[in-house]
Structure 1
């Protein structure tokens, strides 16, 4: 890649950062610990159902 060529990676990602950084009052807010707990419980459920078969 020559020095005159710009891949545009930094410029294109700047728009995404601005988009995802915006606060939306209507957005659903879920605590990350809730997501992890749900994943663990779902995994345990799958294991229990796997042993039951």
Structure 2
């Protein structure tokens, strides 16, 4: 009969604890916000190109 090591459970949960700790401190941005910023940036570039006469 093989004996279990008592420390094996603690070692395997250490990675999960680090994962949850890092998630609490991370900056969370919604995907809709990222898409909106990208679309607005693209439109701003097009408007500036048109206003400076660089429009093809």
Q: How many residues align?
A: 33
Larger relative contact order (C-alpha < 8 A, sep ≥ 6)? 2
Bigger-Rg structure (1/2): 2
Normalised TM-score (structure 2):
0.54
Normalised TM-score (structure 1):
0.57
Structure with the higher fraction of residues in helix conformation: 2
Unaligned runs of 5+ in 2: 1-14
Moved beyond 3 Å, runs of 4+? none
Q: CA RMSD in A?
A: 1.5
